[in-house]
Amino acid sequence: MYKSYFGFDEAPFSITPDPKFIYMSQRHEDALAHLRYGLFETNGFVLLTGEVGTGKTALCRCLLEQLPKTIDIAFILNPKQTALELVANICDELHLQYPDETASIKVLIDLLNKKLLDNHTQGRRTILIIDEAQNLSDEVLEQVRLLTNLETSKHKLLQILLVGQPELQDMLARPVMRQLTQRITARYHIAPLSQVETAAYIRHRMWIAGVQRPIFSSPAIDKIHHLCNGTPRLINIICDRALLGAYAKNADTIDAKMVTQAACEILPNAKSGFFNPTRKIVAASIILTSFAVAAYTLPPWGRLDTPSAEEPRVISKSASTQSAIQPITKETTAPEPATLQPDNAQPAKPERETILSIHQNRRTPLIVDTALATVKSDKHRTYNTAITLNDLLNDSNCNSGSETAVNDLFGLWGITYRPEAGRTACDIANSAGLSCVQSQGTWNNLRRYNRPAIIELQSNRGHWQHLLISALNEEGMLLSCGKKTARIRFNEADKHWFGEYLIFWQPPKRRMRFERGNRGEDVQQFRNQIKATLGIHDTKSSDIFDATLEELVIKFQQKNSLKADGIAGKETIILLNTLTKKADVPLLTAVER
pLDDT tens digit sequence for 359-399:
222 222 222 222 222 333 333 444 555 788 888 988 888 88
What was the pLDDT predicted at 324? 37
What was the pLDDT predicted at 255? 92
Longest dimension (CA), the chain: 83
State the helix-helix crossing angle for 218-228 and 195-208, rounded to 10 degrees: 110
State the Cα–Cα distance between residues 314 and 307, nearest whole angstrom.
10
Q: Whose CA is closest to 556, among 507, 503, 514, 517?
A: 514
What was the pLDDT predicted at 268? 53
Each domain of the chain, given as residue ranges in start order, spans 26-190, 193-291, 314-335+351-505, 521-568
What was the pLDDT predicted at 384? 57
Q: pLDDT tens digits for 20-66?
A: 788 877 778 788 888 887 777 767 788 999 888 888 888 888 888 77
Q: What would be the CATH architecture of the domain defined by 26-190? A: 3-Layer(aba) Sandwich (3.40)
What was the pLDDT predicted at 463? 78
CB 216 within 8 Å of CB 253: yes
What was the pLDDT predicted at 128? 92
CB 486 within 8 Å of CB 383: yes
Q: pLDDT tens digits for 482-510?
A: 889 989 998 888 888 888 889 998 888 77
Can you list the alpha helix ranges (DSSP code H) found in 388-489? 389-393, 404-412, 425-431, 443-449
**How many Cα atoms sit within 13 Å of 88 on the Cβ side?**
13
What was the pLDDT predicted at 270? 54
- For the domain covering 193-291, report its CATH number: 1.10.8.60
What was the pLDDT predicted at 378? 39
Burial 255-264 (b: 16+ CB within 10 A, else e): bbebbbebbb
CB 508 within 8 Å of CB 573: yes
What was the pLDDT predicted at 331? 33
What was the pLDDT predicted at 338? 32
State the Cα–Cα distance between residues 566 and 516, nearest whole angstrom.
8
Can you list the residues of the chain whose pLDDT is less than 50?
271-382, 591-593
What was the pLDDT predicted at 427? 80
Q: What share of the chain is helix, strand, coil (3-state, %, to 5)?
A: 40, 15, 45
3-state secondary structure string across 120-134: HHCCCEEEEEECCHH
What was the pLDDT predicted at 559? 85
Across the beta sheet with 184-190, the strand order is 71-76, 125-130, 159-164, 45-50, 184-190
What was the pLDDT predicted at 444? 82
Can you list the alpha helix ranges (DSSP code H) found in 343-420? 389-393, 404-412
CB 238 within 8 Å of CB 263: yes
What was the pLDDT predicted at 87? 92
Q: Whose CA is closest to 82, among 130, 128, 140, 132?
A: 140
| 3.20.20.70, 3.90.70.10, 3.40.190.10, 3.40.50.300: CATH of 314-335+351-505 | 3.90.70.10
CB 473 within 8 Å of CB 462: no
Count the helices and strands in the chain (H runs, E runs): 21, 12
Q: Which residue type sits at 543?
A: D
Q: What is the DSSP letter of 378?
A: G
Q: Whose CA is closest to 452, among 390, 407, 420?
A: 407
Quick count: other Cβ atoms within 10 Å of Cβ 318? Answer: 9
- Prediction pTM value: 0.47
Burial 429-454 (b: 16+ CB within 10 A, else e): bbbbebbbbbbbbbbebbebbbbbbb
Strand partners, 151: 156
What was the pLDDT predicted at 24? 79
Q: What is the DSSP letter of 330?
A: S
What was the pLDDT predicted at 590? 55
User: Does the fold of domain 314-335+351-505 match that of domain 26-190?
Assistant: no
State the Cα–Cα distance between residues 378 and 435, nearest whole angstrom.
22
